[in-house]
Amino acid sequence: MKKEYIRDGRAPIPKSDVTSRVMSANVGKNTKPELILRKALRDISIPGYRLHWKKAVGHPDIAYPGKKIAIFVNGCYWHRCPFCDLPLPKSNIEFWTNKFKKNIERDAEKKRKLEEDGWKVLVFWECQIKENVQNCAKKVKELWDK
């Protein structure tokens, strides 16, 4: 039986059911890379973070308000990782090019505003966390100890 997905008008209708299911399964919070990084931060004894803290510009994925450290965990596909060089979708290229451009601009603006407010901002890419989460946690610890 074919499942009907509710369309909100923000994206074009995918040509295949598989694509529709994959896109519908994406989440914006508590992603696997976020969970892995948070565990690594607890493991090196720097818990006490706030998640998606609304009092900070851009609601960082992880924030240490007392230390003014903001951490964003970016998915390689949606935020266009500079290391992975992922291809664009094969259909609706104009839509996706524009969407990804806006995502990149929004990310840069959030980082800029936080830095203007005196925050130290770290951006970790999904691939960096998968490759060496301890190295990512170590970078947070270095800022924490300053």
Check residues 19 and 48 and name the one with the higher pLDDT.
Answer: 48
Rounded average pLDDT over 53-58? 94
- Exposed / middle / buried, residue 14 (Cβ in 10 Å: 0-12, 13-18, 19+): middle
Q: Which domains does the chain have, with CATH numbers?
A: 27-145 (3.40.960.10)
pTM equals 0.81
Contact at 8 Å (CB) between 92 and 99?
no
Residue 19 is predicted with a pLDDT of: 47
13 falls in which pLDDT band (50, 70, 90)?
low
Task: Give the Cα separation of 15 and 39 in Å (integer).
Answer: 38
Give the Cα separation of 28 and 61 in Å (integer). Answer: 10
Local structure of residue 69 (DSSP, 8 states): E
- How far the first Cα of the chain sits from its last, in Å, is 58
Lookup result for tokens 């601009």: 105
Residue with tokens 């291809």: 87
Provide the pLDDT for residue 25: 45
